Amino acid sequence: MKRLLPLLCLLAGFAAGAQTGPSTAPPSALLQQPALPATVQQFTLANGFTLIVKPDRRAPTAVQMLYVRVGSMDEVDGTSGVAHALEHMMFKGTPSVKPGEFSRRVAALGGQENAFTTTDYTGFYQQIPASRLEEVMKLAADRFAHNQWPDEEFKKEIEVVKEERRMRTEDSPRARLYEALNAAVFEAAPYHRPVVGWMSDLNAMTPDDVRNFYHRWYVPANAAVVVAGDVDVAQVRRLAEKYYGGIPARPVPVRKPRLEPEQVGLRHIDFKAPAEQAYVALAFKVPALQALDGSDDGYALSVLAAVLDGYSGARLERALTQGPDRVADSAGASNGFAGRGPQLFVLDGVPAQGKSAEQVEAALREQVAKVAHDGVSEAELNRVKTQWVASQVYKRDSVMSQARELGSNWVQGLPLDADERIIARLRAVTAGQVKAVAGKYFGDDQLTVAVLRPQPLDKNRKPRTPLPGMRNDGAPS
């Protein structure tokens, strides 16, 4: 999967991973761009809830997404994973809706729904026939305002969360490596904790830990309702006022800054785990969009990632995985670009037979050094820019993608049309700017290297079976 995708996901409404305190103001450089298209309208309800509506009448369907600006980065040590645990418990009832009934009612309406937790935010969505929008808005508002459940429901669900951690993290050598990598890269910044939480914290988590997190962060001024699809703006606003507008207003808790100290030397992790192949990841600290104050460096770094690995036959694939002297079975590059916390530019690769992780590391760094020395061609720039423009066209075929884009922009304090403004900035990036960032951000003092050292596989180990009723929570594709 080509590493252009992380940026395209951002432009389609996903941000995973800017400053540790939320900013409600968009970056100053973006403010100079054109105003929000008239097809999207945003309102603020009297209690602080944000409402964003985007009509798209090509099909009789609608998406409602509820974004809460709280994720794992808002947790404190000792309760890691509580944001994700709360996401699970939001399906466990209100005074008028029994545990599990939310999902059954949405299915009965002919819809689908799910939820997801990231470092930066928690999201809940339903896609239904447009004529059933009022029912899901009523259900979602009730859940946001009146979530409650007995301790026994939590005791059962936390076991599901722990099993999810085992299946998605502990059984995956690379997932565990990246968990260790983030913990080493970030000392003070809250991204050093995994979204799913450390197992010791999950074992010690109490029902009141989750309830307290819910009461603290699930307040109207910290949330946005996004509706896209075959809808009328005035009607959606009326429904939002009816169901969300009566939720009592409360202040959003003050977020204290947790700034990452300057790194002063290369960091290295050797990670041993049962695996068939070695793997190496190089994480360089780079500026985030909201920390740029008009600089083009973040845009140029994203172009650099796309030049290295943004399409079939890009530089890393040609140089590392092809020919008689190839050193890797696969190689990639990605730039974090935007989020509520600090960002990383990651190079990674799987050594070919007979090659070492150190050889792959050297080859990855050599390709960045070549860009810093020789620059990139106009043909390479034009190719990745054309792909970005095409992505904007394709995503408009999906009301889900449109809603995700709008919600993600709101979470990050960006203008709702940030994707179009970002595309304009990306299209303006020059070969000289790409060459400059390749020489600026890839030194040892910005680098943490993680190497997976394969250990023998346990051939007698049986794959895990999901627990009964386990929900496959995750962002919509």
Joined tokens for residue 173? 């050598």
As beta bridge partners, residue 127 has 63, 112
Is residue 24's pLDDT more than 50?
Answer: no
E strand or H helix at 379: helix 378-395
* Higher-scoring residue by pLDDT: 148, 390: 148
Domain span at residue 211 reads 22-243
Q: How confident is the model at residue 333 (pLDDT cuts 50, 70, 90)?
A: very high
Clarify whether residues 213 and 341 are in a common domain: no
Q: Is residue 259 part of a domain?
A: no
Clarify whether residues 145 and 233 are in a common domain: yes
Residues with catalytic annotation? 87
Is residue 457's pLDDT more than 90?
Answer: no
Clarify whether residues 84 and 116 are in a common domain: yes
Residue 125: predicted pLDDT: 98
Task: Tell me the C-alpha distance between 252 and 221, whole Å.
Answer: 6
Q: Is residue 11 part of a domain?
A: no
Q: Print burial letters for 117-140: b (CB count within 10 Å at least 16), e (below 16).
A: bbbbbbbbbbbbebebbebbbebb
Is residue 287's pLDDT more than 70?
Answer: yes
Clarify whether residues 277 and 234 are in a common domain: no
Here the CATH number for the domain that contains residue 401 is: 3.30.830.10
Clarify whether residues 404 and 275 are in a common domain: yes
Q: Is residue 468 part of a domain?
A: no
Mean pLDDT of 265-294: 87
Clarify whether residues 197 and 272 are in a common domain: no
Q: Is residue 303 part of a domain?
A: yes
Residue 471: predicted pLDDT: 65
Mean pLDDT of 265-292: 89
Q: Is residue 149 part of a domain?
A: yes
- Cβ(160)–Cβ(467) below 8 Å: yes
E strand or H helix at 121: none
Q: How confident is the model at residue 289 (pLDDT cuts 50, 70, 90)?
A: confident
How many structural domains are present in the chain? 2
Q: Is residue 5 part of a domain?
A: no
Q: Is residue 466 part of a domain?
A: no
Q: Is residue 249 part of a domain?
A: no
Clarify whether residues 239 and 271 are in a common domain: no
Local structure of 52: helix, strand or coil: strand
Joined tokens for residue 414? 């960006």
Clarify whether residues 272 and 183 are in a common domain: no
Q: How confident is the model at residue 30 (pLDDT cuts 50, 70, 90)?
A: very low
Clarify whether residues 113 and 166 are in a common domain: yes
Tell me 228's DSSP state.
E
pTM score of the predicted model: 0.89
Residue 468: predicted pLDDT: 66
Mean pLDDT of 294-303: 88
Which of 243, 277, 304 is the last residue in one of the domains?
A: 243
Clarify whether residues 232 and 95 are in a common domain: yes
Q: How confident is the model at residue 34 (pLDDT cuts 50, 70, 90)?
A: very low
Residue 291: predicted pLDDT: 42
> Rounded to 5 degrees, what angle do the CA atoms 198, 203, 208 make?
105
| Least confident piece of the model among 122-136, 138-152, 262-276, 421-435 | 421-435
E strand or H helix at 455: strand 447-455
Is residue 392's pLDDT more than 80?
Answer: no
Q: How confident is the model at residue 22 (pLDDT cuts 50, 70, 90)?
A: very low
Joined tokens for residue 77? 């040590």
Query: Which residues, 6+ apart, have CB-to-CB distance to 98 below 8 Å?
Result: none
